[in-house]
């Protein structure tokens, strides 16, 4: 038992020294093992990183950027297509509009010409009928005026015979009427 | 101190470190707040080759877990290969895009041949840092030898590729253009020193950040216990370090991301020197 404290003191001394000088990070007796295991683990990590991890993540990112690029290109193409369709539509719309314009003008001209012709024809026929009517009126008037003489002679003959008992001859009466009418 | 029962102290102190020893009184008293215990390397499977101790330790275990987690996450997240990514796939793609953009911006298209290396470094540091945030987990990046080895991988890649690709022109890196002849020796000396200090600054920055962050967390969390053990007003007082611990935890998550980010950005800048050694 007398031995024990001494042993303890010795061990304690050694332990105390290990504690004072043996601040664990500066304990060089552990360096070899730490370096060895660091080398082993770090080389393993390097291998895993370069063979597995980076190709995997890089592949994912590349696939994504490819996909985005492809989608953008597709969108660009579709937009160009739309633009082309729109331009074609506008063009055909303008053409149709121009054609409608032309047809309208043409139709209007044709209708005008037709109308003018019809009007002219109607006017011509009206004029003809007017002239014919005037002719007939003239004829009727002339005939009426012609008959005025004979009516006057008959009236005068009747008057003479009624007023006088003298019966004048038709020729005398006619001569007298003619003279009177000529005045 | 020798009178204290060795069995009892061994039992209590066992969780602290493998030294049931003379300092046990202090060790027992401060057992809960020993902020360095979390960095201790514990052998899981002792291996000895020649005089070298190559044991499979908790550090090695978490290196394996880190690599396994990266592999599983990256493959699981990308199993569906969805055109429109889900949450996990988005994260995986973000990591990829982030490293790719950083590297391309810093070192140009030619630098992209280092993409696997930079991605491995970034994911390793990030996952190791984040693993360290899980209680009882070991933080691989809190050991200087690990961060220094990672930094040396970067620097040796820069030097090796630079010389292979540009021959002696690579050393033009140390002689900036447009400097007066008289100043060239001085400037070159400064450039060489700054180049040699790169692996040190790269590794110490990461190591020190993780170490300091975890120690601070542990210390404040320890205050919660020591104050709480006093009872009464101590319990009330322990709320303060508790709030601090919560805030620090958030900060440490930020640091975990930030240090992985800084490590990656600096790696990309150094690789740029290998690709374009002219200033």
Which residues, other chains included, contact A135 with Cβ-Cβ below 8 Å and sequence gap of 6+? Answer: none
Domain count, chain B: 1
Structural domain that includes position B187: 97-275
- Tell me the three-class secondary structure of B107-121, residue by residue: HCHHHHHHHHHHHHH
Q: What is the pLDDT along chain B (279 residues), one digit of tens a residue?
A: 334 443 333 333 333 344 444 443 444 444 456 778 888 888 888 888 888 888 899 999 999 999 999 999 999 999 888 888 889 999 999 999 999 999 999 999 999 999 999 999 999 999 999 999 998 899 999 999 999 999 999 999 999 999 998 888 888 888 888 888 888 889 899 999 999 999 999 999 999 999 999 999 999 998 888 888 888 888 888 889 999 999 999 999 999 999 999 999 999 999 998 898 875
Nearest CA in chain B to A4: B2
Nearest-by-Cβ selection for B83 from A9, A44, A67 = A67
**Helix and strand element counts for chain B (H, E):** 9, 4
A35 touches chain B (CB under 8 A): yes
Residue contact B81–A59, C-beta within 8 A? yes
Residues of chain A with pLDDT under 70: 1-22
Domain residue ranges in chain A: 50-182
Residue contact B83–A14, C-beta within 8 A? no
Residue burial B83-100, b: 16+ Cβ < 10 Å; e: rest: eebeeebeebbebbeebb
B124 touches chain A (CB under 8 A): yes
pLDDT of residue B28: 41
Q: Is residue B265 one of the residues assigned to a domain?
A: yes
Q: Is residue B62 one of the residues assigned to a domain?
A: no
Q: Is residue B20 one of the residues assigned to a domain?
A: no
B115 touches chain A (CB under 8 A): yes
Radius of gyration of chain A (CA): 70
User: What's the gap in Å between the CA of A21 and the closest CA on chain B?
Assistant: 12
pLDDT of residue A175: 81
């Amino acid at each position: 038992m007398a031995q024990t404290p001494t042993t303890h003191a010795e061990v304690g001394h050694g332990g105390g020294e290990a504690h004072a000088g043996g601040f664990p990070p500066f304990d060089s007796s552990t360096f070899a093992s730490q370096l060895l295991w660091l080398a082993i683990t770090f080389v393993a990590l390097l291998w895993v990183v370069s063979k597995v991890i980076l190709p995997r993540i890089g592949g994912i990112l590349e696939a994504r950027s490819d996909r985005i690029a492809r989608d953008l290109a597709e969108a660009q193409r579709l937009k160009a297509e739309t633009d082309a369709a729109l331009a074609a539509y506008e063009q055909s719309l303008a053409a149709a509009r121009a054609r409608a314009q032309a047809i309208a003008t043409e139709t209007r001209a044709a209708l005008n010409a037709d109308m003018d012709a019809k009007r002219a024809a109607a006017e011509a026929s009206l004029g003809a009928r007017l002239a014919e009517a005037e002719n007939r009126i003239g004829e009727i008037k002339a005939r009426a005026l012609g008959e005025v003489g004979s009516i006057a002679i008959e009236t005068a003959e009747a008057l003479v015979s009624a007023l006088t008992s003298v019966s004048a001859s038709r020729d005398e009466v006619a001569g007298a009427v003619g003279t009177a009418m000529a005045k | 101190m020798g009178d204290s029962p060795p069995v009892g102290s061994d039992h209590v102190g066992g969780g602290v470190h493998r030294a049931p020893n003379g300092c046990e009184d202090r060790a027992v008293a401060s057992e809960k707040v020993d902020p360095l215990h979390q960095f201790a390397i514990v052998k899981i499977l002792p291996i000895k080759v020649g005089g070298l101790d190559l044991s499979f330790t908790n550090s090695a275990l978490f290196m394996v877990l880190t690599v396994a987690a990266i592999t599983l996450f990256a493959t699981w997240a990308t199993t569906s290969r969805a055109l429109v990514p889900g949450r996990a796939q988005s994260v995986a793609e973000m990591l990829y895009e982030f490293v790719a953009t950083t590297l391309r911006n810093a070192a140009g298209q030619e630098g992209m041949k280092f993409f696997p290396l930079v991605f491995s470094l970034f994911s390793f540091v990030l996952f190791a840092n984040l693993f360290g945030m899980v209680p009882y987990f070991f933080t691989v990046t809190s050991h200087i030898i690990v961060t220094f080895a990672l930094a040396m991988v970067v620097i040796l890649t820069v030097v090796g590729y630079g010389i292979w690709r540009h021959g002696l022109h690579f050393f033009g890196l140390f002689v900036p253009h447009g400097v007066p002849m008289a100043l060239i020796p001085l400037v070159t000396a400064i450039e060489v020193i700054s180049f040699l200090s790169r692996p040190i600054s790269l590794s110490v920055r990461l190591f020190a950040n993780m170490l300091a962050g975890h120690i601070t967390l542990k210390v404040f969390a320890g205050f919660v216990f020591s104050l709480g053990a006093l009872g009464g007003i101590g319990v009330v007082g322990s709320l303060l370090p508790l709030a601090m611990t919560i805030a620090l935890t958030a900060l440490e998550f930020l640091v975990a991301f930030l240090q992985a980010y800084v490590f990656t950005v600096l790696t990309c800048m150094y690789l740029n020197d290998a690709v374009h050694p002219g200033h």
